[in-house]
């Protein structure tokens, strides 16, 4: 899913013309209508799914299913050490939400009367809420279903998105 996430980011980068997060933020300073999500909804969807898998949230947590763990770091650590792993997972989720907000949802730019710093915190908070809602609402995905989704559906969509974006930019 790293490849799908990377390919999903290529199309917005092609439009903006820079890898700088500052340039990506400044490109979206025209209000809600100038956000990348409206120009690249497929890239947003692909990147969002890739981020869900990368953060090992419940629908896609292939490495560890909490109800089935009998080995690994989940049983080897307890107390504060286990808490550090837990905090690390949530820090990863916060970082991913911040990255999605910065690239697709306008970044630090103000929304109407809401200043930029508060706007990014609201976007990140909403995305973290969405992460937790999906964890509570969706069942687990089998590994074969997840691999089929990645290689047969998401990868071709990501490549088609890059191709169409390139043709439009010509």
3-state secondary structure of 49: helix
- Specify the pLDDT at position 64: 59
pLDDT, one tens digit per residue, over 1-10 is 889 999 999 9
Confidence of residue 160 (pLDDT cuts 50, 70, 90): very high
Distance, CA of 58 to CA of 168 (rounded, Å): 37
Evaluate if residue 17 carries a pLDDT over 90.
Answer: yes
Evaluate if residue 68 carries a pLDDT over 80.
Answer: no
Mean pLDDT of 29-34: 90
- Specify the pLDDT at position 136: 85
pLDDT, one tens digit per residue, over 72-85 is 666 677 788 888 88
Beta bridge partners of 111: 114
Secondary structure of 87-145 in HEC code, one letter for each residue: HHHHHHHHHHHHHHHHHHCCCCCCECCECHHHHHHHHHHHHHHHHHHHHHHCCCCCHHH
pLDDT, one tens digit per residue, over 90-106 is 999 999 999 999 999 99
The tokens describing 147, both together, are 């691999």
Beta bridge partners of 114: 111
pLDDT, one tens digit per residue, over 115-159 is 989 999 999 999 999 999 988 888 878 888 888 999 999 999 999
- Specify the pLDDT at position 133: 92
The tokens describing 36, both together, are 């990348």
- Specify the pLDDT at position 79: 81
**Does 71 or 47 have the greater pLDDT score?**
47
- Specify the pLDDT at position 98: 96
């Amino acid at each position: 899913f790293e490849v799908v996430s990377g390919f999903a980011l290529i199309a917005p980068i092609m439009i903006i013309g820079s890898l700088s997060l500052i340039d990506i933020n400044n490109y979206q300073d025209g209000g809600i209508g100038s956000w990348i999500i409206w120009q690249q909804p497929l890239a947003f969807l692909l990147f969002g799914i890739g981020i869900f898998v990368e953060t090992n949230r419940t629908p896609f947590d292939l490495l560890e299913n909490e109800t089935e763990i009998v080995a690994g770091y989940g049983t080897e650590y307890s107390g504060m050490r286990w808490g550090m792993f837990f905090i690390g997972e949530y820090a990863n989720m916060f970082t991913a939400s911040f990255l999605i907000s910065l690239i697709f949802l306008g970044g630090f730019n103000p929304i109407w009367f809401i200043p930029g710093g508060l706007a990014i915190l609201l976007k990140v908070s909403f995305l973290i809420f969405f992460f937790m809602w999906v964890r509570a609402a969706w069942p687990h995905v089998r590994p074969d279903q997840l691999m089929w989704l990645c290689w047969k559906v998401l990868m071709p969509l990501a490549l088609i998105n890059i191709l169409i974006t390139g043709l439009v930019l010509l």
